[in-house]
Amino acid sequence: MRAANDSFEAIRKEILRAGTVLLAGHTNPDGDAIGACLAFAGALEKSGRRAGVLLEKYAGKYGVIPNSHLLVSPETAEEADLFLSLDCGDLERLGAAKEIFLKTPMRINIDHHESNTGFGLLNYVDAGASSTSEIVYELIHEILPIGTEEAAGLYAGLIYDTGGFRHSSTAPGTMQIAGKLMECGIPFTAIYNEFFDARSFSEAKILGKAIENAELLFGGKVICSTITNAEIAACGGTNKELDAIINYLKGVRGVEVACFFYEKTGTEVKGSFRGNDGYDVCALAQKFGGGGHVKAAGCTIAAPIAKAREMALAEVEKMV
């Protein structure tokens, strides 16, 4: 059981006392981790403090989040008196920033993952918050300046973790904070488009190929598609551009379970599954050594793609 949260008051006191602050989010950072770190660091900089952000190299779409001039590397990071870990569930998820975190005299952990281990000297974890960016807004908006850049970063975190205000984590308070951030004149349309709509041409072509290959099975309850490395190459892309496919398939009306398979290597196939209420695709993935969530899971199957599809569909048939 994690210890109780420290108060905003205690955490704010440490923030205001610090002269140099380092911040970091989790490895393979997402929109919330990047948005929260760069916004918080920007507000610290605007208040006259020195701030540096440690984040792994991130995808191009996150370039829409301002304040990237504050990014530093573990080699160039200066010694700080305060380290803020944001959106990071445990120490290991800090990656290369972990050693620096442990060397810093004051260490604060701010997060919204239920599994957070409470690894800071001060901790604030709210699993009910939509995003770490939402917590950061609540924490700093009365004590640090939030300009357009910082508002854009926090807004990016909010929309990323709520899937554009869709997921059940979206609360009235989330929308109220989004409204406050919007008042700062942020480019909210550009942020949304970058996160949810924009894609490379090859990614669009691959999506088209995957839809063309899709079949309805078992009375329309199951949709299944596969794509081979040769097909991906013919679209001019790579197998890093397949994220949008499974949800697109799952969107077909009447479908209870969606399955998508692609060739990870010549001998390994990656399977992704999505299920409606009442269909445990995590249990399905576990039959092949994978896992995930009840409604979204995946696995790797060591077989040629046609065989892997056949093996997985035999298990799916038992479910429906």
Site for Mn ion, rule CB under 5 A: 32, 87, 131-132, 161
For residue 284 the two structure tokens come to 């399905």
The residue nearest Mn ion at its CB is 32
Q: How far is the CB of 129 from Mn ion (least distance, A)?
A: 9
Closest to Mn ion by CB, 26 or 309 = 26
Strand partners, 291: 298
- Can you tell me the distance from the alpha carbon of 168 to that of 253, in angstroms, rounded to the nearest whole number? 21
Closest to Mn ion by CB, 41 or 301 = 41
Smallest Cα–Cα separation from 280: which of 269, 295, 291, 268? 295
Q: How far is the CB of 112 from Mn ion (least distance, A)?
A: 6
Q: How far is the CB of 161 from Mn ion (least distance, A)?
A: 5
Neighbour order of strands in the sheet with 20-24: 71-72, 50-54, 20-24, 82-86, 106-111, 122-125
Q: How far is the CB of 132 from Mn ion (least distance, A)?
A: 5
Closest to Mn ion by CB, 132 or 225 = 132
CA torsion sign for 158, 160, 166, 170 is negative
Closest to Mn ion by CB, 108 or 245 = 108
b/e burial code for range 93-129 (CB count within 10 A of at least 16 → b): bbbebbebbeebebbbbbbbbeebbbbbebbbbbeeb
CA torsion sign for 34, 37, 41, 43 is positive
Closest to Mn ion by CB, 167 or 307 = 167
End-to-end CA distance of the chain: 38
Q: How far is the CB of 167 from Mn ion (least distance, A)?
A: 11
Q: How far is the CB of 140 from Mn ion (least distance, A)?
A: 17
Closest to Mn ion by CB, 126 or 315 = 126
β-pair type (50-54, 20-24): parallel
In which residue are the tokens 């920007």 written?
42
